[in-house]
Chain A
Amino acid sequence: EVQLLESGGGLVQPGGSLRLSCAASGFTFNKHSMSWVRQPPGKGLEWVSTINIDGATTYYADSVRGRFTISRDNSKNTLYLQMNSLRADDTATYYCAKVRPTTEPLRGFDYWGQGTLATVSS
């Protein structure tokens, strides 16, 4: 059974940093691209970032490029999102999502984690 377990969310002041983690199990992690998708409270979904199978290629939404960094450790079956220079509008539940089986990293998501809430507020 595929499982994606996010952690690392919490309350942080504007300008601060958070590092989210996503522990994956139930599938061969190093054979699948992975993504982060976020959802502000009461609002819709926003794609944040995607990383390919070996971490060599990454993609970012304009709203986070230069502030967020996606990475992965295939030896630990773990995906990360380092979030720096956080702003109030980064407040959201962050979902880790597995990209469905395909050779292209920028495709849809067949499994999602339960999400972790990051709140940016003074």
Chain B
Amino acid sequence: DIVMTQSPLSLPVTPGEPASISCRSSQSLLNSNGYNLLDWYLQKPGQSPQLLIYLGSNRASGVPDRFSGSGSGTDFTLKINRVEAEDVGVYYCLQTLQPPLTFGGGTRVEIK
């Protein structure tokens, strides 16, 4: 199974400041078509998860452009340009290269 490791576990942030979350996979997520099969999700408190980024760097419909995804192979980063209060919650990465699909353990973002 592909193991997904996120860091940090917890991230206190100041509104208006940038934030960054790392996700590392135990093997490359780059497929034969040149796509990185890595998604990012946000689960806000008391809500279901929502898709933020797919294929490593593509923002999902309706996702603000302050969110961006980057990286390739085994190292990926989710960046929030300027954190807003509504961005609090737990962020998860997910690999979809091969079954079983595996999530990272999550990064809790909270306002300082």
Contacts and interface: CB of A to CB of B under 8 A. Distances in A.
Contacts, number: 58
B34 interface: no
Interface in B54-112: 54, 60-61, 90, 92, 94, 96, 98-106
Contacts of A107: 37, 54, 96
Interface size class, chain B: 20 to 34
Contacts of A115: 48
A47 interface: yes
A88 interface: no
A100 B48 CA distance: 16
Interface of A: 37, 44-47, 50, 59, 61-62, 95, 100, 106-110, 112-115
Interface of B: 37, 39, 41, 43, 48-51, 54, 60-61, 90, 92, 94, 96, 98-106
